[in-house]
Amino acid sequence: MTAYWCEHLLRIGDTVIDGALVEVAGERITSVSTVDAPPPGAVVLRGLTVPGLANAHSHAFHRALRGRTHGGHGSFWTWRDQMYGLVERLDPDTYYALARAVYGEMALAGITCVGEFHYLHHGPGGIPYDDPNAMGSALIAAAHDAGIRITLLDTCYLHGGIGVEPNEVQRRFSDLDVERWIGRVGDLRAGTTGSPHARLGVALHSVRAVDPHSIAVASMWAADRRWPFHAHVSEQPAENEACRAKYGVSPVGLFARHGAISRRFTAVHANHVDHDDIATLGAAHAVVCCCPTTERDLADGAAPTGRLERAGVRLTVGSDSHAVIDLFEEMRAVETHERLSTLARGNHRIASLLAAGTEAGHESLGWPDGGVIGPGQLADLVTLSLDSVRTAGGGASAATAVFAATAADVVHVVSSGRVIVRDGAHATMDVPAELGRTIGALYT
Ligand SMILES: [Zn+2]
């Protein structure tokens, strides 16, 4: 049993408790009570403690593009060519080392759970490794060794575009058909038994990479298992145009037509959705995962988050390409990007923005027992400094957490009952050194 005394605690919503004792046994919280002063033996957490953050959309290897792909002209599509160049340098060993460093960076940013949208499955030429799940297993091991939980969203990626064969790089993503993809994911499930930090979900890469038959089969298969089900949706206008030209409907319309849209469905991006798409997603109480720092880096556009939320959609956030790993920035950008398009402030409640990065994110990744500080929940505590140059003077409030704090203000992180960050440093890793070493090796 460990007791943490929090100077200020934001359990859920936007109500702060001044002086709270959180008792933890193993990986779970046993009690939360109001206690004015730290009792003997308690670990003292000075600052504002918030629930662990869930990064609902990650491609770990994209982190190696940071600082190398932001200048010059181009679009999502020219950036994608640079990303494909990186794929050629990854194998299970190099990907493990890179992902471990990236998940270490996430731990330092207060992220205790990551949804890894994983599609780099096979070796060069699309030839499976001896263990066909070697890459997915490397990611699960990397998350464990960095101290965070993972939902591996194993991604079905079959085609290079609508009606287009995969190119040389894309062959590494493809299982050739949906039945073989299901067989491989079934084996992966057996391999994760006994890894309490890991859960499985599945994803469809996008309407570009799957076909109606695959959507229908995968949807039914995921529904039978009640797994999280994610897909990139309407990230770019060109995706909508290609989908309408082939199928006569939008990407949301196509996914709905073949049974993909439900409460367990997360539409990643949803930047270019129309009135009907919003109504479809809202009626199903589906999730939309916003990735604002990536979407602005790639000139993608931004989701109409106010209209989506009013229709019944739940919002989450992800750092996606990892141009930035800072979920505080993602949470506030959901609101600030909406301000740019509506010319109005206050489109989202602060509690709703915080939930996007915590409770709703965990739920969309299949961890309904995370993202809230309460009895029976997973023991994730993220403490923010209130005396940094960014947060000083703002007070202990949800507004300070969402609108002033950054990842750099995270000083202490407990993940599933384990201390993984102390005084701003990772407990077991030299994260900057590992990032520098592993990314540097990919470019030599
Ligand atoms: Zn993505």
Query: pTM for this one?
Result: 0.97
Between the CA of 294 and the centroid of ligand 1 the distance, in Å, is: 9
Between the CA of 329 and the centroid of ligand 1 the distance, in Å, is: 17
pLDDT of residue 188: 87
* Catalytic residue (choose from 277, 320, 326, 409): 320
Between the CA of 432 and the centroid of ligand 1 the distance, in Å, is: 24
Between the CA of 349 and the centroid of ligand 1 the distance, in Å, is: 26
pLDDT of residue 69: 81
Q: Give tens-digit pLDDT for 27-78.
A: 999 999 999 999 999 999 999 999 999 999 999 999 999 988 877 777 777 8
Q: Using CB atoms within 10 Å of the CB of residue 128, give its burial: 0 to 12 exposed, 13 to 18 middle, 19+ buried.
A: middle
Pair of tokens at residue 394: 């703002």
Task: State how far the alpha carbon of 438 is from the alpha carbons of 63, 96, 98, 102, 424, in Å.
Answer: 11, 10, 6, 10, 22
Asked if 330 and 290 count as a contact pair (C-beta separation under 8 A), the reply is yes
* Catalytic residue (choose from 8, 122, 205, 269): 269
The greatest distance separating any two alpha carbons of the chain, rounded to the nearest whole angstrom, comes to: 68
320 in active site: yes
Between the CA of 406 and the centroid of ligand 1 the distance, in Å, is: 22
pLDDT of residue 75: 77
Please identify every stretch of the chain with a pLDDT value under 50, giving residue numbers as ranges. none
pLDDT of residue 193: 65
269 in active site: yes
pLDDT of residue 42: 97
Q: Give tens-digit pLDDT for 326-358.
A: 999 999 999 999 999 999 999 999 999 999 999
pLDDT of residue 84: 84
pLDDT of residue 275: 98
